Amino acid sequence: MAARKALGNPIPVQPLATFRRHVFRFAAGLLLLAATLPDRATLASTTPAPQHPETSESKSPLLDSPFLAPSPAPATANRPLVEFTPPPARTYPRPIETWIEAQIALARLGFSSGSIDGVPGDQSASALRAFQQSLGLPETGQLNDESRAALQLDRPPLTQIVLAQADLASLQPLAKTWLGKSQQTALAHETALELLAERTHASPRFIQTLNPAVDWATLTAATPLTVPDVTRAPILTQAARIEIRLAARLLQARDASGKVLAHFPVSIARDVEKRPVGELHVTIVIADPDYTFNPATFPESAEAQELGRKLVLPPGPNNPVGVAWIGLDRPGYGLHGTPTPEQVGRTESHGCFRLANWDARSLLDLAWVGLPVTVVP
Digit-coded pLDDT (tens) for 70-107: 444 444 455 544 455 655 678 999 999 999 999 999 99
Identify whether residues 268 and 366 lie together within a single domain.
yes
Residue 217: predicted pLDDT: 94
Look up residue 205 and give its amino acid: R
Q: What angle do CA 374, 376, 377 make, to 5 degrees?
A: 160
What's the rounded mean pLDDT across residues 179-197? 98
Residue 346: predicted pLDDT: 76
Identify whether residues 137 and 261 lie together within a single domain.
no
Residue 133 lies in a domain: yes
Residue 198 lies in a domain: no
Digit-coded pLDDT (tens) for 22-53: 544 554 444 444 444 444 334 344 444 444 33
Q: Greater confidence, 10 or 303?
A: 303
Q: Is the pLDDT of residue 160 over 60?
A: yes
Report how far apart the first and last C-alpha atoms of the chain are (Å, whole number): 92
Residue 36 lies in a domain: no
Tell me the percentage of the chain whose pLDDT exceeds 90: 68
Q: What is the CATH number of the domain that holds 256?
A: 2.40.440.10
Three-state SS string over 152-203 comes to EECCCCEEEECCCHHHHHCCCCCCCCHHHHHCCCCCCCCCHHHHHHHHCCEC
SS3 243: strand
> pLDDT confidence of 359, banded at 50, 70, 90?
very high
Q: Greater confidence, 241 or 89?
A: 241
- How many domains, in total, are found in the chain? 2
pTM of the model: 0.77
Query: Which range marks the domain in which residue 126 is found?
Result: 94-153
Residue 67 lies in a domain: no
Are 206 and 189 contacting, i.e. CB atoms less than 8 angstroms apart?
Answer: no
